[in-house]
């Protein structure tokens, strides 16, 4: 066999696309969204079909296997492998043609589903199959797994919606597949004609979600037109590589209506699902209350069916015939999206089991994992199957909450397997064998849409007879006689308890944190709009290593020590984390709450231990101390003048430093005099401690002064801490955790007992006090009390001055919701306060891109600007005259001042104070 180095050189010499056998590229592709891990020898991103053919020919010549990979969201391990991974998402992602009259589109395999749907929506069309990963899954991956999604009740599986395929086999031979034998590999027709009885009887009794194994093989029967393209779908990269596809499109309903039906439990919902099918629904989705973070908008019940109907008349007819505890009919598109988001996030929500901590040591505890993600049974048998499934879980001491496509009998579930200890893995195997028997007993399919991969292929013999299994092997061998396409998957499979991704990790809390990334890749979504933040650096670069998942995978491999061998000193991990803005968007937007900002702080702390750090860590990381020193020396004017002329070392040359305020907030506060404070002789019922954060103290004291005025107008007393206080944010964000602990310990000593609410005007500082402080001092009750006392400006007014009427501004607003507010604090109170003040309109989602120290560090300016250009700056350009520009975060206000023309953003306190 050719050595990896020699193969890399040969591929580089013969391909136009990228060839990368480096540690980072390999580490990023060791896993998909499954429990499995296989380390490839290298990664190739082909430019076109010619590149694919050349790569397949050269790899075959070298005896190296090939694994095609799209979005890497497979849940059974089929997008991982030990050979060369073909990254088809990087370049082969074009929509080549759309024919609205014929209702077809020509796509490359790396095209993300939502891009296709967005492109054909103006024609009133869509692609029917729609997995919950639609914002990042690729058409090639959907073809490989025969993906289905919520609308397959009406529009079928991917196989039902593929007309033609262009594929290239191991060795480089190209085929065009449609109906008929014209594009078939040699020997396939003879194989089918010699096994007609097996195809007609061994694969009979099928239903719409029978896709396990080569489940579409009976499409090659003569009475079914020898549909080569349909038979190829669901082959999981084991036969050949798709390079182009002609897909069918369906008519998009003009005004679909969502009916949500409430039932006592999931069994009752499952029993009811099949009875709804005669009403012609587009979807019948089921989920139980365990998976719902907030029941807002849902009718009464312990489980629900989400039933989409083509129009309101059909929806009302369904309501009349449905026997449910309660029901809701939703016609508003925004309301429908909010409810569908509950269902789409279930894949991640189901990973966190209720009743325990959300973090565990790697692979066990209260996390739940894929592996038995999508078994399916005939819909009429779903209720009985679920009850027996629950009993089987209980017998093994396991927990999991089923949800999914109840209208087609397809059940998703994540189970709290212990995949680390020998005993836990043995239980995983035994349970898997018994569950396979249960599914087969109900006439079901081990996989209903995600493919078998390594998780279930070993058990296919419990579903199909030996003649069918032998036919699968022969079918594979006709296409791939050398066995180079994704070996170990479907045919001659690896054992289901081999290659588990947790086995390589140390048993430490940090490893457990990193392992919680299950790879669903919501962080790879490029959808613009909405309130989400994650993941701004991926959206700006399009590179996997700069996604939340990519960074978690690199940390996983760093801890494993196989591909990334230099541990905490790893340059690959440092480079990937360098473009993490620390926005914490992943903490809230990731379905499993992966917090890369916290991981970055820990990594930087260990990475630079005992070494000189980058200058920016001292300049920006030590910002509170520098500003306090400058103020104490009364050097503000001189420093401002110098900063305009002399670039500070270690900072981006493209950025101008914001000027220091001539009078810090606390100096202004002390100068007010005791007779001024309160504005009344009446003792206020509540005294609010106004936190002098670094930004409000030295850079924007006008926000603090405005807050005092508003609070006193609302009848609240205001106090300011007597000693030096700091949230430690800049030290945490630069990984100086020892310094952060010193600063925060001094802060806790200065604050003492917290007498009431602590108002922090700067969202990033409020978030640091709420989350980083108790994380750094888990055993200090003072830290938890202070964290619990922290309030935002709007929360303070809503909780402690509920009867105060704010002044009416009656103006539209534009601007930015701070990332940390979105991720940690929430903005519901802010929205209500803005509405009461007559401030209409939405603030931008996404990230402003400055993100504290990030935008001031060398090498970050382009990404910082790209983040701002995604949502914030376009919203400001589109704002009507007279629009108030609002941004509570100092970084957001600075970014707006430096990158927009003629806009001055203000804190909400400033807007209200001006109107008093």
Instruction: Assess whether pLDDT exceeds 50 at residue 365.
Output: no
Arithmetic mean of pLDDT, 321-339: 91
- Domain range 4-87, its CATH number among 3.30.43.10, 3.20.20.105, 3.40.718.10, 3.40.250.10: 3.30.43.10
Three-state DSSP class for residue 16: coil
Other Cβ atoms closer than 10 A to 82: 16
Bridge-partner residues for 248, per DSSP? 104
The CB density around residue 472, as the number of other CB atoms within 10 Å, is 21
Task: Work out the average pLDDT over 420-425.
Answer: 95
Higher pLDDT, residue 291 or 196 = 196
Per-residue pLDDT of 486-502, as tens digits, reads 999 999 999 999 999 99
Neighbours of 843 (CB within 10 A): 26
* pLDDT for residue 574 is more than 80: yes
Question: CA-to-CA distance for 857 and 651, rounded, in angstroms?
Answer: 5
pLDDT recorded at residue 364: 43
Query: Widest CA span of the chain, in angstroms?
Result: 100
DSSP letter (8 states) at residue 463: T
* Runs of H (alpha helix) within 286-421: 312-321, 333-344, 346-349, 382-395
Is the four-CA dihedral 667, 668, 671, 672 of positive or negative sign?
A: negative
pLDDT of residue 349: 62
Average pLDDT, the chain: 93
Q: Which residues pair with 844 in a beta bridge?
A: 816
pLDDT of residue 342 exceeding 80, the answer is no
Could you tell me which residue, 62 or 672, shows the higher pLDDT? 62
Residues near 364 by Cβ (< 8 Å), separated by ≥ 6?
Answer: 416, 418, 419, 420, 421, 424
Tokens standing for 508? Answer: 């430490």
Distance of CA 688 to the CA centre of its chain: 37
pLDDT tens readout for residues 802-835 = 999 999 999 999 999 999 999 999 999 999 999 9
| % of the chain surpassing 90 pLDDT | 86
- The alpha carbon of residue 68 and the mean position of all alpha carbons in its chain are separated, in whole angstroms, by 22
Please give the C-alpha separations between residue 484 and each of 74, 228, 509, in angstroms, as whole numbers: 20, 21, 39
CA distance 707 to 700: 12
Q: What is the pLDDT of residue 678?
A: 47
Please report which confidence band the pLDDT of residue 532 belongs to, taking 50, 70 and 90 as the band edges. Answer: confident
In angstroms, the CA 127 to CA 546 distance is: 29
Q: Strands (DSSP E) along 609-677, which ranges?
A: none
| pLDDT per position as a tens digit, 41-70 | 999 999 999 999 999 999 999 999 999 999
Q: Is 80 exceeded by the pLDDT of residue 281? A: yes
Length of the chain: 916
Mean pLDDT on 660-689: 80
pLDDT at 676 over 80: no
Q: What is the pLDDT of residue 592?
A: 86
What count of Cα atoms within 13 Å lies in the side-chain half-sphere of residue 808? 2
Beta strands in 40-102 (DSSP E): 42-45, 66-69, 84-87, 95-99
The region, left, alpha or beta by phi > 0 then psi within -120 to 50, assigned to residue 845 is beta
The answer, yes or no, to whether the previous bond of 535 is cis (omega within 30 of 0) is yes
Domain ranges of the chain: 4-87, 257-456, 509-608, 637-801, 811-914
Reply yes or no on whether the pLDDT at 887 is more than 70. yes
pLDDT digits (tens, 9 = 90+) for 438-458: 999 999 999 999 999 999 999
Residue 759 near residue 707, CB atoms below 8 Å: yes
CATH number of 257-456: 3.30.70.2740
CB proximity list for 516: less than 8 A, separation 6 or greater: 351, 358, 359, 360, 367, 592, 593, 594
Judge whether residue 317 has pLDDT over 70. yes
Report the pLDDT value the prediction gives residue 650, as an integer from 0 to 100.
84
Question: Cα Rg for the chain, rounded, in angstroms?
Answer: 29
Is there a contact between 42 and 17 (Cβ–Cβ < 8 Å)?
A: no
Extract the tokens encoding 340.
Answer: 């569908």
pLDDT of 537-546, one tens digit each?
Answer: 999 999 999 9
CB 339 within 8 A of CB 353: no
Of the candidates 741, 735, 824, 821, the one whose C-alpha atom is nearest the C-alpha of residue 775 is 741
Quote the CA–CA distance of 149 and 153 in Å, as a whole number.
Answer: 9
pLDDT digit string, tens, across residues 730-756: 999 999 999 999 999 999 999 999 889
**Termini Cα distance of the chain:** 79
Q: Which of 100-114, 200-214, 602-616 has the lowest mean pLDDT?
A: 200-214
Token readout for 457 is 């292929």
Q: Which of 522, 660, 650 is nearest to 586 (CA)?
A: 522
Strands 104-107 and 18-20, sheet pairing: unpaired
Sign of the torsion formed by the C-alpha atoms of 367, 138, 57 and 186: positive
Q: Phi and psi of 906, rounded to 5°?
A: -135, 160
Question: Which 3 state secondary structure label does DSSP give 508?
Answer: coil
Compute CA distances 186 → 183, 189, 476, whole Å: 9, 8, 12
Confidence of residue 345 (pLDDT cuts 50, 70, 90): low
β-strands 811-816, 839-840 pairing: parallel
Q: Could you tell me which of 736, 819, 818, 726 has the C-alpha nearest to residue 773?
A: 726
Whether 530 has a pLDDT exceeding 80, the answer reads no
Cα–Cα distance, 736 to 755 (Å, whole number): 30
pLDDT over threshold 70, residue 428: yes
**Helix or strand (DSSP H, E) at 241:** strand 240-248
User: Residue written as tokens 């739940």?
Assistant: 368
**Distance of alpha carbon 20 from alpha carbon 61, whole angstroms:** 19
Which residue blocks in 450-595 are alpha helix, DSSP H?
Answer: 453-456, 466-479, 509-515, 536-541, 548-560, 571-578, 585-589
Over residues 192-231, the pLDDT tens digits come to: 999 999 999 998 667 888 999 999 999 999 999 999 999 9
Q: How far is 387 from 391, CA to CA, in rounded Å?
A: 6
Helix (H, G, I), strand (E, B) or coil at 368: coil
- Tell me: pLDDT of 1 over 70: no
What percent of the residues of the chain are helix, what percent strand, and what percent coil, each to the nearest 5? Answer: 45, 15, 40
Closest CA to 498 of 84, 72, 37: 37
Q: What is the DSSP letter of 279?
A: G
Over residues 860-872, mean pLDDT: 96
pLDDT in the model for residue 359: 39
> Which of 257, 195, 271, 275 has its CA nearest to residue 231?
195
CA distance 494 to 496: 6
pTM: 0.94
């Amino acid at each position: 066999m050719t050595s990896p180095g020699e193969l890399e050189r040969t591929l580089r010499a013969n391909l136009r696309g990228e060839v990368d056998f480096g540690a980072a590229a390999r580490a990023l592709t060791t896993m998909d969204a499954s429990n499995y891990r296989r380390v490839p020898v290298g990664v190739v991103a082909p430019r076109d079909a010619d590149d694919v053919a050349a790569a397949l020919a050269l790899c075959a010549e070298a005896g190296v296997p090939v694994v095609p990979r799209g979005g890497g969201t497979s849940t059974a391990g089929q997008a991982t492998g030990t050979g060369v991974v073909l990254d088809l998402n990087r370049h082969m992602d074009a929509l080549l043609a759309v024919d609205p009259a014929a209702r077809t589109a020509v796509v490359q395999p790396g095209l993300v589903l939502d891009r296709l749907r967005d492109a054909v929506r103006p024609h009133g069309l869509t692609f029917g199959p729609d997995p919950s990963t639609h914002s990042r899954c690729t058409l090639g991956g959907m073809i490989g797994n025969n993906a289905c999604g919520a609308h397959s009740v009406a529009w079928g599986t991917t196989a039902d919606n593929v007309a033609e395929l262009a594929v290239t086999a191991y060795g480089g031979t190209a085929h065009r597949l449609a109906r008929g034998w014209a594009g078939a590999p040699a020997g396939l027709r003879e194989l089918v004609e010699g096994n007609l009885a097996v195809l007609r009887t061994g694969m009979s009794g099928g239903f719409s979600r029978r896709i396990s194994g080569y489940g579409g093989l009976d499409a090659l029967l003569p009475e079914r037109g020898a549909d080569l393209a349909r038979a190829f779908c669901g082959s999981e990269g084991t036969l050949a590589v798709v390079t182009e596809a002609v897909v069918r499109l369906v008519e998009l309903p003009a005004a679909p209506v969502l009916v949500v039906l409430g039932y006592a439990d999931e069994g009752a919902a499952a029993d009811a699902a099949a009875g709804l099918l005669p009403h012609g629904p587009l979807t019948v989705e089921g989920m139980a209350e365990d998976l719902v973070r907030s029941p807002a908008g849902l009718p009464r019940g312990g489980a629900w069916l989400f039933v989409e109907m083509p129009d309101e008349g059909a929806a009302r007819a369904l309501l009349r015939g449905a026997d449910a505890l309660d029901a809701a009919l939703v016609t508003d598109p925004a309301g429908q999206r909010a409810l569908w988001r509950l269902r789409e996030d279930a894949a991640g929500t189901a990973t966190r089991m209720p009743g325990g901590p959300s973090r565990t040591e790697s692979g066990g505890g209260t996390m739940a994992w894929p592996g038995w993600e999508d078994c399916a049974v005939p819909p009429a048998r779903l209720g009985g199957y679920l009850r027996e499934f629950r009993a089987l879980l209980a017998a093994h001491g396991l927990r999991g909450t089923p949800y999914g496509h109840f209208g087609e009998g397809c059940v998703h579930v994540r189970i709290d397997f212990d995949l680390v200890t020998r005993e836990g893995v043995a239980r995983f195997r035994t349970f898997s064998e018994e569950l396979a028997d249960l599914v087969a007993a109900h006439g079901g399919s081990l996989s209903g849409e995600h493919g078998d991969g390594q998780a279930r292929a070993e058990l296919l013999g419990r579903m199909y007879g030996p003649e069918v299994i032998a036919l699968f092997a022969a079918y594979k061998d006709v296409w791939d006689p050398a066995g180079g396409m994704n070996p170990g998957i479907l045919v001659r499979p690896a054992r289901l308890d081999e290659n588990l991704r947790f086995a390589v990790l140390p048993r430490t809390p940090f490893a457990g944190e990193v392992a919680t990334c299950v790879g669903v890749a919501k962080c790879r979504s490029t959808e613009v709009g909405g309130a989400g933040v994650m993941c701004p650096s991926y959206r700006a670069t399009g590179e996997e290593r700069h996604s939340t998942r990519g960074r978690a995978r690199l940390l996983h491999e760093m801890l494993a020590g196989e591909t990334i061998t230099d541990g905490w000193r790893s340059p690959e991990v440092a480079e990937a984390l360098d473009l993490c803005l620390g926005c914490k968007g992943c903490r809230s937007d990731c379905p499993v709450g992966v917090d890369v900002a916290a991981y970055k702080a820990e990594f930087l702390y260990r990475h630079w231990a005992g070494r000189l750090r980058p200058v920016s860590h001292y300049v920006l990381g030590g910002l509170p101390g520098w500003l306090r020193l400058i103020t104490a020396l009364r050097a503000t004017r001189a420093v401002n003048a110098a900063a305009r002329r002399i670039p500070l070392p270690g900072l981006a040359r493209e950025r101008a430093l914001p000027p220091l305020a001539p009078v810090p907030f606390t100096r202004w506060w002390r100068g007010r005099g005791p007779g001024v404070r309160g504005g009344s002789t009446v003792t206020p019922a509540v005294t609010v401690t106004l936190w002098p954060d670094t930004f409000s103290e030295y850079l924007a004291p006008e926000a603090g002064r405005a807050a005092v005025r508003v609070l006193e107008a609302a009848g609240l007393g205001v106090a300011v801490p007597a000693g030096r206080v700091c949230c430690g944010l800049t030290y945490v964000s630069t990984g100086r955790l020892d310094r952060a602990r010193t600063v925060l310990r001094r802060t806790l000593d200065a604050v003492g007992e917290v007498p009431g609410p602590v108002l922090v005007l700067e969202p990033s500082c409020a978030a640091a006090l709420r989350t980083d402080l108790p994380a750094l001092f888990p055993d200090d009750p003072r830290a938890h009390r202070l964290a619990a006392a922290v309030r935002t400006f709007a929360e303070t007014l809503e909780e402690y001055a509920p009867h105060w009427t704010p002044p009416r501004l009656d103006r539209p607003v534009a601007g930015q919701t701070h990332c940390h507010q979105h991720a940690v604090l929430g903005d519901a109170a802010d929205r209500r306060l803005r509405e009461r003040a007559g401030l209409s309109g939405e603030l931008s989602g996404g990230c402003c891109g400055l993100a504290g120290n990030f935008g001031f560090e060398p090498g970050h300016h382009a990404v910082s600007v790209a983040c701002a250009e995604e949502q914030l700056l376009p919203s400001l350009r589109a704002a009507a005259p007279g629009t108030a520009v609002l941004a509570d975060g100092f970084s957001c206000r600075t970014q707006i001042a430096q990158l927009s023309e003629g806009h001055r953003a203000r804190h909400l306190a400033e807007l209200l104070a001006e109107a008093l």
